[in-house]
Amino acid sequence: NAGVTQTPKFRVLKTGQSMTLLCAQDMNHEYMYWYRQDPGMGLRLIHYSVGEGTTAKGEVPDGYNVSRLKKQNFLLGLESAAPSQTSVYFCASSSSGRRNEQFFGPGTRLTVL
């Protein structure tokens, strides 16, 4: 099992450009999450999904959109990138049971110039 994978690993954008980050998991997990990690601020939840076709806002959703068309994939979109979106983005997934242990992907380092 590959677990949780993310593409791309690195990306540099100019202000105003758009891009999509892809997260895939092969653990048949119901829940998927997108976080951003900034120095000194831990991880903050952007959006999450509790099942195929559903999405919900997290703590810092502005400037991002998501889609979960297939159970195994969770896409994070930036429509018009801003320098404040420079960060490391992590995807995670978990089962729907009480344990809810989240497994994380390797991360995507995004720089917006």
Distance between CA 69 and CA 48 in Å, rounded? 13
Distance between CA 49 and CA 73 in Å, rounded? 10
Interface with another protein (CB under 8 A), residue from 22, 43, 73, 77:
43
Interface with another protein (CB under 8 A), residue from 1, 2, 42, 62:
42
Decide whether 64 or 90 has the Cβ nearer to another protein: 90
Distance between CA 31 and CA 58 in Å, rounded? 13
The binding site for another protein (CB under 8 A) comprises 31, 33, 40-45, 48, 50, 58, 90, 92, 94, 96, 98-107
